Amino acid sequence: MFKHIISAALLVAATTSFASAKDTLYIVNSGSSGGSYNAQLQAWMTDLDQHYDVNFIHAKGCAKASAVLQKITSNPENQAISIYSATWDHSSKACEFLYPKDDTFLFSQEKSGVVFTMKGNNPDFLRDGVTFAINGTNDKWVQDLATANGVSMKTVRYKNSKGVTLGLMNGEADYAVINSGSQFWKNQEKLDGLAMLGPKAWGEMQSVSTFNGRTKLGFDNYLQFGPGRDKLLQTMRTIFDDDDSNIRKWTDANQAWWSNIDGDNPQQQLNAFRAAFPQG
Amino acid sequence: MEYIFYGVVAGTIAGLMPGVGIFATLLLLYPWLMELPVIDTFVFYLALVSTTQYVGSVSATILGVPGESSSLPAVYEGNTLFKKGEGGTAISGAAMGSVLGALLALGLITIVSPYLHYIYYFFNTYVQAIVLWSVLILMTFTSNKNILISIGLTCLGFYLGYIGCDIISSFGTCHVPIDHPDVTTGLPFISVVAALFVFPQLIKFYEPKLVGPTDQRKNTFFEHFKKFYSNIGSAVRGSVLGFFLGFTPGGSTALSSNTAHRYEVKREKRKGTYEQGNYRSLVAAETANNSAAFTTLLPLFILGIPFAASEALFYDIIITKGFVFQQNFDMAFFMSTIAYNLVIINICAFLVAWPFAKHISLLYLIPQKALNVFVFLLLCYIMWLVGSNYLQSEYYLIVFFLLLPVGYLIRHYDTMPLVFAFILQDRFYMNAITINDLIGNMLS
C-alpha cells in the first residue's frame, strides 16, 4: 500500500512538473486597458495559454512599455511580445527601445482609419472653416489635407478615438478622423463614413487620396524579445489559422483590418514600415 | 454567489475594524481582485460596500465605535439604546432600515437606468469640465477646516499624477524628477494612495471600549418587525434624503446619514418626543446611509468619476481589466450584474449583520495596535506583490516608503482631495486641452 502511495505521488509530481515545464511568455500591452491592443493581446493570452505560462503586463504607452520590456529582457532567458504603433513618435528617446528592429520584428497588421461625420451632416468635408475631431498626430494630417485643398480647417484634440467619436456626436466638431476604425464600426447606425485613410477603398468609401489627402495606413507591429522566436511565430500562426481561436474571432469581427502573420517575408514588412515611419 | 459570500465576509471585517475600512480592504485584496473576472469583481465590491454599511452600525451600536464617519448617528442614538438594554431593537431597526434604504434606492436607480445612455451625449467636454471642477472644488472646501491645506493637498495630488511620461498623446514627453526608466511609468497608484491615504488612517489609533449592560431585552422577530413598521415613515424619509445627498462628492454617506439624523431629531424635538437613544432618528440615519451608498456609485458607473477613495481604487482595478465605464456600463449590464446581485447582497448582509451582533465584542480582543502593525506589514507585502506584476517591486516599495513621511505629516487631514487629483490628473489635463481647442476655434 505504502509503495502504491509513493508511486502515485511520484507520478503526480512528475506529471505536474512536466505539465508546468512550459516556457514563460510575457505579453506586454503597450496600449490602453480599454483599447484594441488590449483586446487582441488578451485574445492571444487566452490562446497561447496552452503553450506558455503567460504573464500579462499592462504598460500603457510606448515609454512605459519600453521601460518594462527593457527590464524583462535584462534576463536573456525571458521571452516577451508587445505591439509597436505607427502613430507613436518614432524619434522619442523614451520609446527608442521599442521601435521595430531586425531581431524584434515579428509581423505587422495593417488597418485603415476612417474619416466620418454624423448621419445627416453635409458629407463635403473639404470646406473652409470646418472642424475635425482628432487624436494623436492627426492634427498634422488635417492641416496637410487643408493645404492640399486650399482651405482652412480647425481641429479639436481628444484623448483617444472614443473621445473623438463622442466629441463628434456631442456636436463639438463637424467631422472626425481616427486611425483605428473600431469606434466608427461600432456606431455605424449613427455615423456616415466619408473616406478611408488607407490607400484602398472599403465598400462605398473611397481612399482619402481621391480628396488630395495623404494616405495613412496604420501599422501595428508585433514584436518579440528573447529566445524561441521561430517556435512562437509558428505557434501563433497555427492559432491564427484556427477559425475558433479567440484571436481569429477578434480579427474577423474587425473591418478594414489585415494581418500579415502568415506573410512569407517579414523583413519586407519591416522595411515597408521603416520606409513609411523612419526613426528620427 | 461565492463572490457575494467573500464580499460579505470582507465587508464584515472592514465594518468592524476602525482604520481598515473599505479602501484598505480593497488594497489588501488587490492581487486577488486583479485575477477576478470583471463581473465577479463588481459583485464582490457591491457585497463589500453593502455589508460594511450594515456591520458598521452594529459595532457603532454595541461598542460606540464609529467604523466610518457615517456611523456617528448610530453611536449617538444606537449606543444609547444599547446602554438602556434596547440594543436588539437598535440593531434590528438599523438593519431593516438599511434593507429598505438600499431597495428603495435600487428601485429609483432602476427607474432612471433606461435613460443612462443619453447621459453620455449630455456630458460633452464643457459639462465634464463642470462636473470635474465642481467635485474638486467641493472636495477641497468640505474635506478640511483649513482651505489652504486642502488646496495644498490638491496641488500635491496633481503634481504626483503629473510625474511620468505622457501617455495621452503617446508622444513620449516626460516629466520625471530623476532620470530612471521606472519613473517614466509614473508613480504607482497603490504606493501613493497607501502612503498618503491608508497610512494616515492607520496611525489615527484608538482603543474601542465595550460599554453598556450585558443584559439586553430579547424580542421576537415579529416584535422587531412591528416596531420597525410602526416607524416606517422615518425610514422612507431617510431613503429619499440619502438617495439625493448620495450624489454629493466626497462625503456622500456621512453627509446623508448625518443630515437624515439631524432632520429626524428636529422633527422629534418639534413633537416633544426626542431624547437621546431615539429609534426613529437612528433608523432614518441608517436608511439614508445605505441609500446613499448606492447612489454614490452612479457617477462612477456612468461617467467613470470616482467620488470616494475606495471607488477610485475599484475604478483602477476595473479599468485595468479592460472595462470602460462610459462604454461597457449599460442597461443590460446594470440589470444583470448590479440590480439582481444587489437584492441578494442586501439580504445576505442583513442576515449576517443582525445575528452577528452578539459575537462582535470577541473581535475586539485583538489589540488595535497589533492589528495596525499587521495591516502595515501586509501593505508592504501587497506593494511588493503588485509591483512584481510590472517587474517593479522595488520601485513600488521605494515610492511607498518615500511618501510615508508625507503621509505622517498630513495624518490629521482628510487627504481625499489629493487622491482625487492624483487619480484624475490626466482627465483634467485632457479636458483642459480639448476646451482650449474648442474656445480657440470659437474665437478664430
Label residue A18 by pLDDT band (50, 70, 90).
Answer: very low
Q: How far is B438 from chain A (nearest CA, A)?
A: 6
Torsion A34-A40-A44-A47 (CA) sign: positive
For residue B413, give Cα distances in angstroms to B17, B67, B146.
Answer: 20, 17, 9
Mean pLDDT in chain A? 86
Report the chain B residue with the minimal C-alpha distance to residue A63: B172
Mean pLDDT of A207-221: 89
HSE (CB half, 13 Å, CA atoms) of B295?
A: 32
Cβ within 8 Å, pair A57-B391 = yes
Q: What is the pLDDT of residue A19?
A: 47
B427, B432, B386: which is closest to B192 by C-alpha?
B386
Label residue A217 by pLDDT band (50, 70, 90).
Answer: confident
Beta partners for A175? A132
Whether the ipTM is more than 0.90: the answer is no
Cβ within 8 Å, pair B172-A63 = yes
Q: How far is A115 from chain B (nearest CA, A)?
A: 19
More confident residue, B373 or A53: A53
Nearest CB neighbour to B124, from listed A136, A162, A172? A172
Q: How far apart are CA A16 and CA A125, in angstroms?
A: 63
- Chain A (176-235) residues lying within 8 Å, Cβ to Cβ, of chain B: none
DSSP per position, B367-411: -HHHHHHHHHHHHHHHHHHHHHHTT-HHHHHHHHHHHHHHHHHTT
Mean pLDDT of B104-129: 74
A chain contacts of residue B181, beta-carbon cutoff 8 Å: 66-67, 70-71
Mean pLDDT of A99-113: 91
Report the Cα–Cα distance between both ends of chain B, in Å, rounded. 58
Question: Which runs of consecutive H residues, i.e. helices, occur in chain A?
Answer: 2-19, 36-48, 62-73, 138-149, 161-169, 182-186, 229-241, 246-252, 266-276
More confident residue, A262 or B83: A262
Q: What is the pLDDT of residues B133-159, one digit of tens each?
A: 887 887 788 777 889 999 999 999 999
Q: Are B337 and B42 in contact (CB under 8 A)?
A: yes
B chain contacts of residue A88, beta-carbon cutoff 8 Å: 170-172
- Chain B (311-350) residues lying within 8 Å, Cβ to Cβ, of chain A: 319-324, 326-327
Q: What is the pLDDT of residues A118-127, one digit of tens each?
A: 999 999 999 9
- Contact of A65 with chain B, judged by CB distance below 8 Å, is answered with no
More confident residue, A244 or B87: A244
DSSP state of A87: T
Nearest CB neighbour to A60, from listed B120, B121, B167? B167
One-letter amino acid at B143 equals S
Cβ within 8 Å, pair A166-B120 = yes
B chain contacts of residue A162, beta-carbon cutoff 8 Å: 324, 326-327
Q: How far apart are CA B420 and CA B307, in angstroms?
A: 8
B chain contacts of residue A70, beta-carbon cutoff 8 Å: 181
Nearest CB neighbour to B165, from listed A94, A131, A163? A94
Q: Are A151 and A124 in contact (CB under 8 A)?
A: no
Nearest CB neighbour to A63, from listed B184, B391, B437? B184
- Contact of A146 with chain B, judged by CB distance below 8 Å, is answered with no
Question: Which runs of consecutive H residues, i.e. helices, occur in B232-339?
Answer: 232-245, 252-271, 279-295, 297-303, 309-320, 325-328, 331-333
Mean pLDDT of B198-211: 63
